[in-house]
């Protein structure tokens, strides 16, 4: 760490030591999980090492968490189970394993996620629950196992099935990504893009220049299913199911059985996650009965940079729609 970044870190630590409100202190503990330095560095990186901006970002994040009761979201199961299964079948994400450095590997089926089985609030709730389970359970466990702080993850994004209809999902995806940008910054070490069709390549060409250099460096577009490249950083057992064989469209929930398909509710990761949430809800039930219905969270306004990216992406997709005769 350079002198400038160490100085910025010391300044931010001093500012955070001045936070005395108990609710803010408690939710900050849920964020850092004992890794205070690594957490402060994430916020500093997200604000280009500007201490004032990083401090404001953390305080805004803490207030968002308190106002929306994020600390309790892992005790709010999405019920009934059939509804949650529908969400898992249409919001394709799961933990496929770990890199050789111990970083969790999350697989995301961008192209085949339909987000059509529930309301926006349920999908946002599910996304935040996975974030919180990652940060409060998965990462602390990995840190303990490897004897070092592990505070970030790797994401493998499968673009299989990406179509022009993705335009309909931009609003929801913008909400989710804005929540991540503002409240879970710098949690992803690298984004690996696999099975990218032409429509992705064309959109990436116009979006890439709009991204900050820090973000661009994180994105790697791999050839084909990415198997050979990913095996350089993880073992075969940790490969997402859609990367195991060239030409295999693996994002589909029907392509492999539940134990192999990390998107499925039957996969061990989602079974552990859902059981954890139900167990936490039983602990809290004595205080507050479990209610059906989604857990509503305030949706943030997207940052200016993201708003520009969304506008450019929508424009590019509209061009594709026109050039393809409005066909999907």
Please report, to the nearest 10 degrees, the dihedral formed by the alpha carbons of residues 115, 120, 122, 123 taken in order: 50
pLDDT digits (tens, 9 = 90+) for 136-194: 999 999 999 999 999 999 999 999 998 877 777 888 999 999 999 999 999 999 999 99
- Nearest residue to 161 (alpha-carbon basis) of 200, 119, 205, 106: 200
User: CA-CA distance, 312 to 297, in Å (whole number)?
Assistant: 27
Instruction: Quote the pTM value.
Output: 0.91
User: CA-CA distance, 238 to 216, in Å (whole number)?
Assistant: 25
| Reported confidence tier of residue 246, pLDDT bands at 50, 70, 90 | low
Tokens of residue 228, six digits: 């050979």
Q: What are phi and psi of 99, to 5 degrees?
A: -75, 170
Contact 4, 50 (CB under 8 A): no
The pLDDT of residue 250 is above 50 = no
Contact 117, 89 (CB under 8 A): yes
Q: Residue 16: how many CA atoms within 13 Å on its side-chain side?
A: 30
Partners of 104 in the beta sheet? Answer: 98
| Reported confidence tier of residue 240, pLDDT bands at 50, 70, 90 | very high
Burial class for 126, CB neighbours closer than 10 Å (0-12, 13-18, 19+): buried
Could you tell me how many residues make up the chain?
328
Contact 259, 268 (CB under 8 A): yes
């Amino acid at each position: 760490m350079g002198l400038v970044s160490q100085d910025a870190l010391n300044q931010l630590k001093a500012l955070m030591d001045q936070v005395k409100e108990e609710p803010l202190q408690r939710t900050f503990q849920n964020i850092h999980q004992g890794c205070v330095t690594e957490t402060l560095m994430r916020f500093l990186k997200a604000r280009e090492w500007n201490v004032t901006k990083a401090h404001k970002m953390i305080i805004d994040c803490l207030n968002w968490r308190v106002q929306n009761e994020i600390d309790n979201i892992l005790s709010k199961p999405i019920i009934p189970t059939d509804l949650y299964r529908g969400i898992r079948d249409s919001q394709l994400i799961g933990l496929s394993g770990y890199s050789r450095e111990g970083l969790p590997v999350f697989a995301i089926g961008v192209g085949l996620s339909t987000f059509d089985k529930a309301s926006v609030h349920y999908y946002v709730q599910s996304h935040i629950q996975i974030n919180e389970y990652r940060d409060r359970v998965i990462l602390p466990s990995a840190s303990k196992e490897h004897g070092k702080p592990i505070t970030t993850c790797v994401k493998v994004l499968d673009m299989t099935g990406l179509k022009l209809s993705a335009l309909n999902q931009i609003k929801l995806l913008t909400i989710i990504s804005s929540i991540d940008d503002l409240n879970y910054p710098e949690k992803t070490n690298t984004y690996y893009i696999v099975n990218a069709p032409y429509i992705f390549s064309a959109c990436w060409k116009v979006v890439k220049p709009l991204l900050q250099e820090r973000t661009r460096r994180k994105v790697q577009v791999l050839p084909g299913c990415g198997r050979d490249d990913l095996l350089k950083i993880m073992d075969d057992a940790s490969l997402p199911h859609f990367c195991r064989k060239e030409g295999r469209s693996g994002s589909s929930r029907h392509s492999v059985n539940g134990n192999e398909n990390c998107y499925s509710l039957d996969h061990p990761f989602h079974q552990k996650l859902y059981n954890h949430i139900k167990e936490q809800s039983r602990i809290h039930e004595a205080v507050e009965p479990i209610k059906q219905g989604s857990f509503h969270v305030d949706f943030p306004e997207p940052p200016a940079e993201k708003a520009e990216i969304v506008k450019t992406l929508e424009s590019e997709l509209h061009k594709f729609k026109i050039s393809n005769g409005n066909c999907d």
